[in-house]
Amino acid sequence: MPGQIKLDPGPATEIWNSDGIRLRSSQEMNLQTIGYHIKPISGRSYFTYVKVTNIGSDPIGPCRCNKPGPWKSVTLFIDTFTPSWPVLAPDGASRLTYFPGLDQFQLEQVSNGSVIAGPWFFHGKTPSGTQNGLQSFWAWSRDGLFFAVVVRDQQAGGGGSWWLDVYATKPYIRANGTRTVPRGNIYNSSGVSTASNVISGVNLGWNDASTSLEFRRPPIQSQPLTQTELTLICPYVDAVSNVAPTYSWTLDTMVRSLSGWNFVHSPCGGLFALVPRPNPNFTSAYRQLEILDILRTLMLISQRQDNLLVGPAVVNNNTTVATVTTTSPGRRGIKLTNMSLTEIDNSECLASAPASVNLRRVRVSTIPNQIDYTNMGQANAVIWPNHSLWIEFPSLQWINPAGSPGQIHFCLQANGDASPDDPSPGWSSLNLNDRHFAQRNIIFT
């Protein structure tokens, strides 16, 4: 079952002495252990920490990547080559077999010779209609599990046609662990293109982790060559069908012509980054780093630093090369060069199902029925079973309420959940004995 969270409320008879929430005058470097709470002084800033424990049997927001290294571009397909038949997959489990008399080839399982897909013509048609034109091309993912093939024609009349199909060579399980996708087709696309720009090897590439296929759709007639439509085909992303989910960008024409982007993937293949590549001679129109979760959610990830929202990072205008490197899991685990931010949290530890905690400040008065609430923000964390972590909130200003007659103290209250399996009751029931809540009263004298 999924993880569950517990917020420590502290002794019921001394709620002002709670271990659940602590104030610190500076950021803590070790989020496993936070020192004793401090008493606030009027007009100063404090960092707030809420202690969260995973009491479930599974990780909350597991860190799915412990592999460091630079984020890399894909390995592009090769569209002109002379095959040595049969052609074996990298894992040796599937192969391509060629039939010379028919000029056709098909994808087969090595163990029993069963056909996985095909046959396809090895050569497409020429403008005159003969079957000896542009050859088909293909590439397996590095682990051999996925296979992509492109068949292309150049028909009479100057147009070009192409077909892209992606297959799973054997059954596999989606990243959510709940759906098994059978062997067979998981994606297909087709299009037309001018003869000079018919689809080629530069339009496709698998990432090293075999989690995504980059598909850079070729331009159609009258479309500027500087415009790029980028589609990521991601077989592992959560979905209810056997079709591989996709994420697409239409990249701006002017930015593409003046500067462009680098497309890079994290070492474990869970994240993709769109990194602008400014031209030093022009003011780039778009310089923001975009990071996408390509293993689970296909959603853009908000960049964080020490569990706090920052950025997004912006590539410096005076550079043509900005890089992304995973240095460690978790907190500030990704290093950025030539950008406005130098370090961000490793999103591969946060992109699945992090625990979330909401914090608010409560002003209690001796005047009957007068209680003021101020929401102070939300933070996320990754917590292993039977482990605790202090979640950090932004720095807050604490003001001595002595000028308000009858007002005796402030409270901090927090609630949280490990969505969607440990839902919080919300703010309607603030029972300190409920494991969703913690409180730390702050006394002013």
Beta-bridge partner residues of 49? 22, 392
| The pLDDT of residue 122 | 95
pLDDT value for 445: 41
**What is the reported pTM?**
0.76
Structural contact between residues 47 and 392, judged by C-beta atoms closer than 8 angstroms: yes
The single residue listed with the structure tokens 């964080």 is: 304
| pLDDT (0 to 100) of residue 443 | 47
**Within the chain, which residues score under 70 in pLDDT?**
1-3, 9-18, 39-43, 57-59, 61-62, 155-160, 193-197, 220-227, 252-259, 280, 283-285, 350-354, 363-373, 380, 384-385, 398-411, 419-437, 439-445
The stretches of 167-313 forming alpha helices (DSSP H) are: 253-258
Q: pLDDT tens digits for 126-182? A: 877 788 888 999 999 999 999 999 998 876 544 568 999 999 999 999 987 778 999
pLDDT of residue 22: 82
Q: Which domains does the chain have, with CATH numbers?
A: 5-61+353-443 (2.60.40.10)
pLDDT at residue 444, rounded to an integer: 45
- Kindly give, in sequence order, each residue whose CB lies less than 8 Å from that of residue 315, ignoring residues fewer than 6 positions away: 275, 276, 277, 278, 284, 287, 288, 289, 322, 338, 339, 340
Q: Tally DSSP H helices, then E strands, for the chain.
A: 1, 33
Between CA 201 and CA 182 the distance in angstroms is 28
What pLDDT does residue 48 have? 84
**What pLDDT is attached to residue 281?**
73
Looking at residue 7, its pLDDT comes to 77
- The rounded Cα 293 to chain-centroid distance in angstroms is 2
Beta carbons within 8 Å of 226's beta carbon, 6+ residues apart = 253, 254, 256, 257
d(CA 156, CA 275): 40
pLDDT of residue 136: 95
List the alpha helices (DSSP H) in 211-303.
253-258
CB half-sphere exposure, 120, CA atoms < 13 A: 24
For 133-168, b where at least 16 C-beta lie within 10 A, e where not — what string? bbbbbbbbbbbbbbbbbbbbbbbeeebbbbbbbbbb
Query: Which residues, listed in sequence order, are joined to residue 325 by a DSSP beta bridge?
Result: 70, 335
**Tokens standing for residue 343:** 């370090």
